[in-house]
């Protein structure tokens, strides 16, 4: 009851004037009137007043200081609905809906509210009593448990990630960070490579931030039609390099850009292969290194956008896809409307990880189907032609290459097996059978003793080797361990010979950087003879092979060759605004092509950094590199990954 209504009641009981009039107004000067029946003397009145005010104070104290007093006030003294502001427009507020729950009913002052408040208070009292009976140690343990539960709930909310993605407890794979190199000279060289990364990144940031690539001479953005109007290729491609080089500020700004700006809801025709290896691969690696949910979410979102590319009669994907309309097509120049082996064959690693991280098997199913189609086909001399028609399921032109158009298909067979913790027997067999056919039909030795991998055109050899083909040295060495036991040494040796040939292709130029393609005919060896094959666009493949050879043999010459490349890059490719490719590596003067390729940051500089790192950084037992040098963890079977491995 409101306190104000108690005062008149008291007044009437005591008689008018007893309290309301001035003290002693009728008794004169403090004299005491004779007490009649029903009348109080002044001291009695005073005592009564004291008792009553104590009672009032107690009541108010109870109302204001008991738990949930606000609810009591609003629910008991006032009608709660009356406290709510009127809805806009003065329309009556809707009554609480059925199913609004007991809390809603109590808040609305519904019939259950008083009972609830009473029950709440009783429970609180009971709990307080129980707590008081506990030993201090028990109380401390309870507090600890409560804290842990709160932390777990918070973590659970963070890990819940993107809506639709299953919760996932992030465990950073072994080797995401490594030790400093023990040798001071090696440490210094590694620092230099980090400085190169900083120069490339800072200039991209200054002149082309948010665009795909940098034009380091004209100091502006460069866009390539490979990514349609998806933006930020350099940022996504560089994320993991920034991470392993411990460039924390830069990684943070790149992550923030991805969070706020990386957008796949664009009307864009993209290259499925390029977007997969750079964007999906870059996001996956960034997730596995840092555990940041945004990367997992974006990778899966992009993977879903790529799925319509597989809507062909055979399931062999289109090369190009409009990610808004879902309409695909092939490169107009590709033989008979074919898809390209190195493109549809270079989705496997990323798509298996997309299934692993999303819990959606569709990604792995799509790439396993590619395997099935390939396994049903006859292969000329056991070789895989570069062109396959996605409608008829027939090979196009019989052109076989371990360089452009074919290269990373072979790489992904081996790495699929390694990434599956060596359970993907199918991938393994396809790889070693293919290498056998390559050795028989494509690998040759020049009269000067250089081993090279030629190209095969309908049974005729073209004695040319592309810069891209130089990755194969590292691949052969990486696969040596799984080769039949009598062939292990041979595969390492093959890797070493390819590394030597590719080093020669660098060494025989004026600028000590290798041409796009070099030949072994017309009296030359490891030299480009055609003007349109003399350029160098900051490609990584030769350095990639040095890195694998170093890790697998620890022969110091690979570090020396890698350092020669660093010096040449600094001398001829470094400019004020970043790093540029060269039009002719045989010329006396640099003619820059004015493009800083995103793979310079994701691959060339990363492989150089790894070449001068200890083997504990991204160790091969735990990581495989996608074809854009994005590290993906091995799905170890004893970590409960058996299913993904065998899909």
Which residues are documented as binding site for Ca(2+)? Answer: 627
- Minimum gap (Å) between residue 147 Cβ and ligand DMJ: 48
| Alpha-carbon gap, residue 614 to 598, rounded angstroms | 25
Instruction: Based on the shown chain and the rule CB under 6 A, indicate whether residue 606 belongs to the binding site for ligand DMJ.
Output: no
- Minimum gap (Å) between residue 466 Cβ and ligand DMJ: 10
Query: DSSP label at 15?
Result: -
What the block records as the tokens of 374 is 């390939």
Would you call 565 helix, strand, or coil by DSSP? helix
Nearer to ligand DMJ, 113 or 623 (CB): 623
Question: Exactly one of 212, 285, 389, 408 binds ligand DMJ (CB under 6 A); which one?
Answer: 408
What the block records as the tokens of 461 is 């050899």
Query: Would you list which residues are annotated within the binding site?
Result: 627
Nearer to ligand DMJ, 121 or 583 (CB): 583
Q: What is the size of the binding site for ligand DMJ (CB under 6 A)?
A: 8
What the block records as the tokens of 537 is 């666009």
541 as an active site residue: the answer is: yes
407 as an active site residue: the answer is: yes
Query: DSSP label at 267?
Result: -
Instruction: Based on the shown chain and the rule CB under 6 A, indicate whether residue 627 belongs to the binding site for ligand DMJ.
Output: yes
Please give the residue whose beta carbon sits closest to ligand DMJ in the complex. 627
Nearer to ligand DMJ, 294 or 299 (CB): 299
Q: How many CB atoms lie within 10 A of CB 102?
A: 12
- Minimum gap (Å) between residue 258 Cβ and ligand DMJ: 20
Answer yes or no: are the C-beta atoms of 522 and 581 closer than 8 Å: no
Residue 225, Cα to own-chain centre: how many angstroms? 24
What burial letters (b/e) apply to 317-332, b meaning 16+ CB within 10 Å?
bbbbbbbeeeebebee
Catalytic residue among 292, 504, 541, 594: 541
Query: DSSP label at 596?
Result: B
How, if at all, do strands 631-633 and 574-575 pair?
unpaired
Instruction: Based on the shown chain and the rule CB under 6 A, indicate whether residue 599 belongs to the binding site for ligand DMJ.
Output: yes
Answer yes or no: are the C-beta atoms of 599 and 187 closer than 8 Å: no
- Minimum gap (Å) between residue 240 Cβ and ligand DMJ: 14
Residue 561, Cα to own-chain centre: how many angstroms? 33
- The position carrying tokens 């991998």 is 453
Answer yes or no: are the C-beta atoms of 483 and 432 closer than 8 Å: yes
Answer yes or no: are the C-beta atoms of 412 and 371 closer than 8 Å: no
521 as an active site residue: the answer is: no
| Alpha-carbon gap, residue 283 to 255, rounded angstroms | 10
Alpha-carbon Rg for the chain in angstroms: 38
How, if at all, do strands 464-466 and 451-453 pair?
unpaired
Please report, for residues 321, 359, 545, the alpha-carbon distance to residue 164 in angstroms, rounded to integers and kept in the order given.
24, 10, 40
Instruction: Based on the shown chain and the rule CB under 6 A, indicate whether residue 423 belongs to the binding site for ligand DMJ.
Output: no
Residues whose CB is less than 8 angstroms from the CB of residue 508 and which lie 6 or more positions away in sequence, other chains included: 526, 527
- Minimum gap (Å) between residue 608 Cβ and ligand DMJ: 14
Residues whose CB is less than 8 angstroms from the CB of residue 384 and which lie 6 or more positions away in sequence, other chains included: 341, 374, 400, 406, 409, 434
Instruction: Based on the shown chain and the rule CB under 6 A, indicate whether residue 276 belongs to the binding site for ligand DMJ.
Output: no
Instruction: Based on the shown chain and the rule CB under 6 A, indicate whether residue 548 belongs to the binding site for ligand DMJ.
Output: no
Per the document, the length of the chain is: 647
Least Cα distance to 594 among 196, 257, 275, 207 occurs for 207
Residue 350, Cα to own-chain centre: how many angstroms? 12
Nearer to ligand DMJ, 279 or 452 (CB): 279
Nearer to ligand DMJ, 189 or 539 (CB): 539
Question: Exactly one of 269, 593, 628, 644 binds ligand DMJ (CB under 6 A); which one?
Answer: 628
Instruction: Based on the shown chain and the rule CB under 6 A, indicate whether residue 343 belongs to the binding site for ligand DMJ.
Output: no
How, if at all, do strands 220-222 and 269-271 pair?
unpaired
Query: DSSP label at 276?
Result: I
Nearer to ligand DMJ, 386 or 645 (CB): 386
Nearer to ligand DMJ, 71 or 503 (CB): 503
- Minimum gap (Å) between residue 361 Cβ and ligand DMJ: 26
Nearer to ligand DMJ, 339 or 408 (CB): 408
Give percent helix, percent strand, percent coil of the chain, each to the nearest 5: 55, 10, 35
Least Cα distance to 348 among 433, 408, 288 occurs for 408
Q: Which residues pair with 128 in a beta bridge?
A: none
Catalytic residue among 269, 301, 343, 516: 516
Catalytic residue among 240, 301, 407, 593: 407
- Minimum gap (Å) between residue 408 Cβ and ligand DMJ: 5
Instruction: List the interface residues with ligand DMJ, window 455-514 (CB under 6 A).
Output: 468
Nearer to ligand DMJ, 165 or 601 (CB): 601
Nearer to ligand DMJ, 594 or 628 (CB): 628
Catalytic residue among 274, 301, 504, 628: 274
- The position carrying tokens 């790149």 is 254
| Alpha-carbon gap, residue 318 to 312, rounded angstroms | 8
Instruction: Based on the shown chain and the rule CB under 6 A, indicate whether residue 539 belongs to the binding site for ligand DMJ.
Output: yes
| Alpha-carbon gap, residue 182 to 615, rounded angstroms | 12
148 as an active site residue: the answer is: no
Active site residues: 274, 407, 516, 541
Report the interface residues with ligand DMJ, using CB under 6 A.
408, 468, 539-540, 599, 603, 627-628
């Amino acid at each position: 009851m409101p306190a104000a209504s108690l005062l008149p009641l008291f007044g009437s009981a005591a008689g008018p004037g007893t309290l309301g009039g001035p003290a002693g107004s009728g008794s004169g000067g403090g004299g005491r009137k004779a007490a009649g029946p029903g009348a109080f003397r002044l001291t009695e009145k005073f005592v009564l007043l004291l008792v009553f005010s104590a009672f009032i104070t107690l009541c108010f104290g109870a109302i204001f200081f008991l738990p949930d007093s606000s609810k009591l006030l609003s629910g008991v003294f006032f009608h709660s609905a009356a406290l709510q502001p009127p809805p806009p427009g003065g329309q009556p507020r809707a009554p609480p809906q059925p199913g609004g729950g007991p809390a809603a009913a109590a808040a609305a002052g519904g019939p259950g509210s008083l009972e609830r408040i009473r029950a709440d208070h009783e429970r609180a009292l009971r709990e307080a009593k129980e707590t008081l009976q506990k030993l201090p140690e028990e109380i401390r343990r309870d507090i600890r448990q409560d804290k842990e539960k709160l932390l777990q709930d918070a973590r659970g909310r963070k890990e819940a990630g993107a809506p639709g993605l299953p919760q996932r407890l992030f465990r950073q794979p072994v080797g995401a960070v490594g030790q400093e190199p023990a040798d001071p000279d090696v440490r210094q060289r590694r620092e230099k490579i980090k400085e190169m990364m900083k120069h490339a990144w800072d200039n991209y940031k200054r002149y082309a931030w948010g665009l795909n690539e940098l034009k380091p001479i004209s100091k502006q953005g460069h866009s390539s039609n490979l990514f349609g109007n998806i933006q930020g290729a350099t940022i996504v491609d560089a994320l993991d390099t920034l991470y392993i080089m411990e460039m924390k500020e830069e990684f943070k700004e790149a992550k923030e850009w991805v969070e706020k700006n990386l957008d796949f809801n664009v009307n864009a025709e993209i290259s499925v292969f390029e977007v997969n290896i750079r964007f999906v691969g870059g996001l996956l690696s960034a997730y596995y290194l840092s555990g940041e949910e945004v990367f997992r979410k974006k990778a899966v979102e992009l993977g879903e956008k790529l799925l319509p590319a597989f809507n062909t009669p055979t399931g062999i994907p289109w090369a190009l896809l409009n990610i808004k309309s879902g309409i695909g097509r092939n490169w107009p120049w590709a033989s008979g409307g074919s898809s390209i082996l190195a493109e549809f064959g270079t989705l496997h690693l990323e798509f298996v990880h997309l299934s692993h991280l999303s819990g959606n098997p569709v990604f792995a199913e799509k790439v396993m189907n590619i395997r099935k189609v390939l396994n049903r086909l006859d292969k000329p001399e056991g070789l895989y032609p570069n062109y396959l028609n996605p409608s008829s399921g027939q090979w196009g032109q019989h052109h076989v290459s371990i360089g452009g158009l074919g290269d990373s298909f072979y790489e992904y067979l081996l790495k699929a097996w390694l990434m599956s913790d060596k359970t993907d027997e199918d991938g393994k067999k396809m790889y070693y059978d293919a290498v056998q056919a390559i050795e028989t039909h494509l690998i040759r030795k020049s009269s000067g003793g250089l081993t090279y991998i030629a190209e095969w055109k309908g049974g005729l050899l073209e004695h040319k080797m592309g810069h891209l083909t130089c990755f194969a040295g590292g691949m052969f060495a990486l696969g040596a361990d799984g080769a039949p036991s009598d062939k292990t040494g041979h595969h390492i040796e093959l890797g070493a010979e390819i590394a030597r040939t590719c080093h020669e292709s660098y060494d025989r130029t004026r600028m000590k950087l290798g041409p796009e393609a070099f030949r072994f005919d017309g009296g030359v060896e490891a030299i480009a003879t055609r003007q349109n094959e003399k350029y160098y666009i900051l490609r990584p493949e030769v350095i990639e092979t040095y890195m694998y050879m170093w890790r697998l043999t620890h022969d110091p010459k690979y570090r020396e060759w890698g350092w020669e490349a660093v010096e040449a890059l600094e001398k001829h490719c470094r400019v004020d605004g970043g790093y540029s490719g060269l039009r002719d590596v045989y010329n006396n003067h640099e003619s820059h092509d004015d493009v800083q390729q995103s793979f310079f940051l994701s691959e060339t500089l990363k492989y150089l950094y790894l070449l001068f790192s200890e083997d504990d950084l991204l160790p091969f037992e735990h990581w495989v590199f996608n074809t854009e040098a994005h590290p993906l963890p091995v799905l170890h079977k004893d970590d409960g990954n058996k299913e993904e491995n065998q899909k």
